[in-house]
């Protein structure tokens, strides 16, 4: 169901704009910790809230949902784009639909929901990593996620609270509530406001690395990596450095199929471009500037035999741009350049 449809649970929540309507919403707050080495990936604890806190939280969550909407004519609608590993578009939610290829993510999402059902009240709040607020409305469940830990004192920094004009140390942990939702889940749909928080919560870097390795395996087994000078094992090893992970993981099956189908044709085109290099030094320099983004490819391609050539002292950046179809030609100037994503996501995977 489209999130902008009137019957979508998030729209039903937004429509609860009075205290009476909000009474139809059931709210539960959980604090959750990750248990990577244990039988269950997550453990959770239910937090008991005073009625006034519950009421305030409902109102704040509705406000947070509304903050993701943008005016469109006489209405306000959610601006949503597909989840992308390399870019986060400002003022838009990134939508990720969990499918069969997301086996790790699906297992962890199901593990999280199981932990919310089978809670463990022995967990200390200070040992948790994030908060989940479950909203139930008309038999639908929406999970709002906040990647934040409780505020606790340390040896060098303590929390104090004012009581009768005297400040006393806080002996218990403090929970910060409200604020912007990092992401929310409905069924198999995840709507993401903060990509890094989403990836940290689900340890999504594991999926990124799996996708990177899978795509690399597909690429280095294509016919143009058959030559000894391709050094495909070294190329593959270099590509597994963190800085390249997102670009390689983002490659689709269509990208790789297009690469295989069009590789020889692109090689023939590159032959012609190099053949037309002017003899005049000044004109040759201008010509190289026009084709600057693709000129580096000549160091990586055996154009006569349609093979990749890769040396141990090279970096794979240029080839990755080529494989990811990021080399673009300007319609206006006819110059070639590398496509740069808007609002790039910090590559810390």
Tokens of 252: 């689709």
- Tell me, yes or no, whether 218 and 123 share the same domain: no
Strand bridging mode 93-97 / 80-82: parallel
Q: Does 349 reside within a domain?
A: no
pLDDT, residue 38, reads: 74
Q: How far apart are CA 238 and CA 241, in angstroms?
A: 6
Q: Does 2 reside within a domain?
A: no
Q: How far apart are CA 326 and CA 339, in angstroms?
A: 5
pLDDT, residue 13, reads: 94
Q: How far apart are CA 247 and CA 61, in angstroms?
A: 34
Q: Is the dihedral of CA 221, 222, 228, 233 positive or negative?
A: negative
Q: Is 108 helix (H, G, I), strand (E, B) or coil?
A: helix
Per-residue pLDDT tens for 118-155?
A: 998 998 888 888 999 999 999 999 999 998 766 655 56
Residue 344 has pLDDT above 70, yes or no: no
Containing domain of residue 211, as a range? 207-338
Q: Does 4 reside within a domain?
A: no
pLDDT, residue 177, reads: 85
Q: Does 343 reside within a domain?
A: no
Domain count, the chain: 2
- Tell me, yes or no, whether 330 and 315 share the same domain: yes
Q: How far apart are CA 83 and CA 250, in angstroms?
A: 10
Q: Could you please report the per-residue DSSP string of 41-89? A: SEEEEEEP--HHHHHHHHHHHHHHHHHTEEEETTEEEE-EEE--SSB--
| Phi, psi of 131, deg, nearest 5 | -115, 145
Tell me the mean pLDDT in the region 146-167: 69
- Tell me, yes or no, whether 264 and 150 share the same domain: no
Q: How far apart are CA 48 and CA 50, in angstroms?
A: 7
Task: Cite the DSSP H helix spans in 221-252.
Answer: 232-239, 242-250
**36 CA to centre of own chain:** 20
pLDDT, residue 324, reads: 81
pTM over 0.95: no
Per-residue pLDDT tens for 272-297?
A: 999 999 999 999 999 988 888 889 89
Q: How far apart are CA 104 and CA 210, in angstroms?
A: 9
Residue 249 has pLDDT above 70, yes or no: yes
- Tell me, yes or no, whether 159 and 230 share the same domain: no
- Tell me, yes or no, whether 54 and 94 share the same domain: yes
Tell me the mean pLDDT in the region 40-57: 92
Q: How much of the chain, in percent, has pLDDT values that exceed 90?
A: 51
- Tell me, yes or no, whether 34 and 177 share the same domain: yes
Domain boundary, last residue among 152, 181, 203? 203
Domain boundary, last residue among 151, 186, 203? 203
Q: Does 98 reside within a domain?
A: yes
Residue 168 has pLDDT above 70, yes or no: no
**Greater pLDDT, 36 or 300:** 300
Sheet holding 42-47, edge to edge: 42-47, 26-34, 130-137, 140-146, 183-186, 189-192, 93-97, 80-82
pLDDT, residue 8, reads: 94
- Tell me, yes or no, whether 65 and 47 share the same domain: yes
pLDDT, residue 347, reads: 43
- Tell me, yes or no, whether 66 and 110 share the same domain: yes
Residue 345 has pLDDT above 60, yes or no: no
Domain boundary, last residue among 203, 233, 258? 203
- Tell me, yes or no, whether 41 and 114 share the same domain: yes
Q: How many CB atoms lie within 10 A of CB 55?
A: 15
Residue 88 has pLDDT above 70, yes or no: no
CA-CA distances (angstroms) from residue 21 to 58, 137, 243?
11, 10, 49
pLDDT band at 338 (very low <50, low <70, confident <90, very high): low
Q: Supply the mean pLDDT for the chain.
A: 85
Angular region, 164: left φ>0, alpha ψ -120 to 50, beta rest: left
Residue 196 has pLDDT above 60, yes or no: yes
- Tell me, yes or no, whether 72 and 195 share the same domain: yes
- Tell me, yes or no, whether 55 and 118 share the same domain: yes
Query: Is the distance from CB of 264 to CB of 103 less than 8 angstroms?
Result: no
Residue 336 has pLDDT above 70, yes or no: no
């Amino acid at each position: 169901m489209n999130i902008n449809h009137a019957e979508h649970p998030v729209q039903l929540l937004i429509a609860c704009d009075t205290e009476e309507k909000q009474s139809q919403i059931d709210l539960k707050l959980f604090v959750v910790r990750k248990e990577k080495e244990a039988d269950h990936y997550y453990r959770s604890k239910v937090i008991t809230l005073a009625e006034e806190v519950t009421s305030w939280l409902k109102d704040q969550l509705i406000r947070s949902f509304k903050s993701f909407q943008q005016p469109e004519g006489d209405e306000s609608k959610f601006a949503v784009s597909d989840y992308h590993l390399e870019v986060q578009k400002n003022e838009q939610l990134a939508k990720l639909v969990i499918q069969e290829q997301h086996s790790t993510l699906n297992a962890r999402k199901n593990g999280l929901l199981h932990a919310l059902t089978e809670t463990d009240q022995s967990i200390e709040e200070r040992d948790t990593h994030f908060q989940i607020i479950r909203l139930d409305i008309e038999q639908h469940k929406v999970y709002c996620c906040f990647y934040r830990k409780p505020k606790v004192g340390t040896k060098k920094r303590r929390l104090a609270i004012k009581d009768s004009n005297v400040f006393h140390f806080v002996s218990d942990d403090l929970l910060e509530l409200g604020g912007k939702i990092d992401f929310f889940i409905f069924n198999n749909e995840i709507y993401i406001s903060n990509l890094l928080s989403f990836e940290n919560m689900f340890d999504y870097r594991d999926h990124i690395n799996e996708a990177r390795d899978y795509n690399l395996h597909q690429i280095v087994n294509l016919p143009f990596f058959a030559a000894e000078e391709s050094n495909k094992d070294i190329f593959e090893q270099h590509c597994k450095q963190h800085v390249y992970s997102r670009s390689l993981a983002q490659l689709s099956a269509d990208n790789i199929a297009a690469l295989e189908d069009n590789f020889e044709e692109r090689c023939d085109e590159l032959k012609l471009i190099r053949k037309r290099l002017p003899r005049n030094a000044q004109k040759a320099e201008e010509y190289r500037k026009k084709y600057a983004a693709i000129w580096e490819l000549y160091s990586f391609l055996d154009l006569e035999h349609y093979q990749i050539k890769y040396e141990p002292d090279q970096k794979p950046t240029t080839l990755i741009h080529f494989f990811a179809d990021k080399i673009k030609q300007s319609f206006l100037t006819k110059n070639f350049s590398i496509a740069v994503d808007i609002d790039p996501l910090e590559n810390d995977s």
